[in-house]
């Protein structure tokens, strides 16, 4: 059985979808832990409610980058991590982690990559750009993480039509529904 570790920075909606998929047997795995980069986020509450171990690891809490990377790698080793899922994680993953877990880190991104990916394209900003460019379709992408933001090989994409009545928030909500579906497909 795979051991999954989830990284999150916010509400943990996709984290909850993963929890639900594991509990229902849709994903044959166990969630070994949640790594958050800030305290007090809703994802941490979701983990606690589901008896999932957590670590809050803001890089700024460490004396230097090397100490942060070392502690992150040690935590992943201790949790016997097979797969890392970035579910709304807003920090760049250190190169040493990407190298150690090559093709075993996936990200859930709120656009049809390669459009609206890369540095600066996250959260509501993606949906604002989609609307500003009068796109007719958007969606979400699950992809492997590489050293460049949102450029890793694509695993899955789900399209979401853009409606004339959409606001960035409405569009974000509809894309998020599909993210929760796509993140829970076993591959």
Residues noted as catalytic: 109
Report the C-alpha gap between 50 and 37 in whole angstroms.
Answer: 19
Task: Residue 145: name the closest of 96, 73, 76 by CA.
Answer: 96
Report the candidate in 121, 72, 62 with the shortest Cα–Cα distance to residue 99.
72
**Which of 30, 28, 26 has the alpha carbon at shortest distance from 3?**
30
Alpha carbon distance 72, 54 (integer Å)? 12
Task: Give, as one character, the DSSP assignment of residue 59.
Answer: G
């Amino acid at each position: 059985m795979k051991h999954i570790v989830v990284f999150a920075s916010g509400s943990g909606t996709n984290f909850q979808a993963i929890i639900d998929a594991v509990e229902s047997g849709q994903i044959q795995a166990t969630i070994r832990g949640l790594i958050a980069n800030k305290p007090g986020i809703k994802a941490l509450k979701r983990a606690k409610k589901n008896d999932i171990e957590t670590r809050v690891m803001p890089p700024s809490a460490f004396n230097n980058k090397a100490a942060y990377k070392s502690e992150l790698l040690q935590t992943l080793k201790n949790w016997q991590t097979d797969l890392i899922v970035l579910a709304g994680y807003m920090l760049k993953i250190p190169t040493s982690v990407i190298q150690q877990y090559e093709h075993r880190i996936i990200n859930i991104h709120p656009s049809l990559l390669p459009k609206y990916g890369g540095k600066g394209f996250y959260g509501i900003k993606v949906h604002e750009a989609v609307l500003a460019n009068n796109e007719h379709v958007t969606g979400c992408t699950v992809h492997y993480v590489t050293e460049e933001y949102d450029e890793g090989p694509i695993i899955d994409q789900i399209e979401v039509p853009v409606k004339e009545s959409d606001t960035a928030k409405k569009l974000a909500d509809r894309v998020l529904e599909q993210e929760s579906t796509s993140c829970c497909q076993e591959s």
